[in-house]
Amino acid sequence: MLSVLFLMATTSKPRPPQRFGSVLGLKGEKLDEYKMLHAAVWPTVAGAIRSVNTRNYSGCLRQMPDGNHYLFSYLEDTRSDLAGHRRKLAANPEVKKWWSLTDPRQQPLADRKEGEWWASMQEVFHQE
């Protein structure tokens, strides 16, 4: 009985969604290819992202004053373990195939934290 309650507490209890902002460089010469890929994300990849509880996921592009192009992502997640999500996604063959197309077109920030691909940002305000 106790173990059932424990299981319920650890797996079923809904947590309020948390917000995550991240940033990644994109290689300028691969920009059009990157945008084309993301105009039609594979349903298998979209499904895998949903399966790790990621919601309201957007990516916005901007050329910054250093002349380089950066992609900023915003997502909401009911769990805080983004690194764990990435490990789970990495085990999915379709996601692996997708990343083999997207990774070479990306330029992750050199000073990202250990284990990050997308460099996390610090939320300084939020209003519902």
95 contributes a contact to a second copy by CB under 8 A: no
11 contributes a contact to a second copy by CB under 8 A: no
23 contributes a contact to a second copy by CB under 8 A: yes
Return the closest-CA partner of residue 98 out of 55, 38, 53, 58.
Answer: 38
User: What distance in Å separates the CA atoms of residue 84 and residue 69, rounded to the nearest whole number?
Assistant: 28
DSSP secondary structure string, 27-43?
A: -GGGHHHHHHHHHT--H
Question: Restricting to residues 55-84, which ones interact with a second copy according to CB under 8 A?
Answer: 55-66, 68, 70-72, 74
52 contributes a contact to a second copy by CB under 8 A: no
Smallest gap from residue 76 Cβ to a second copy (A): 9
Instruction: Tell me if 128 sits within 8 A of 43, measured CB to CB.
Output: no
125 contributes a contact to a second copy by CB under 8 A: yes
Smallest gap from residue 53 Cβ to a second copy (A): 12
User: What distance in Å separates the CA atoms of residue 110 and residue 77, rounded to the nearest whole number?
Assistant: 25
Smallest gap from residue 101 Cβ to a second copy (A): 14
| Interface pick for a second copy out of 42, 86, 106, 119 (rule CB under 8 A) | 119
CA distances from 87 to 8, 37, 95, 115 (A): 23, 22, 11, 10
Residues that bind a second copy (CB under 8 A): 19, 21, 23, 25, 34-35, 38-39, 41, 46, 49-50, 54-66, 68, 70-72, 74, 109-111, 119, 121-128
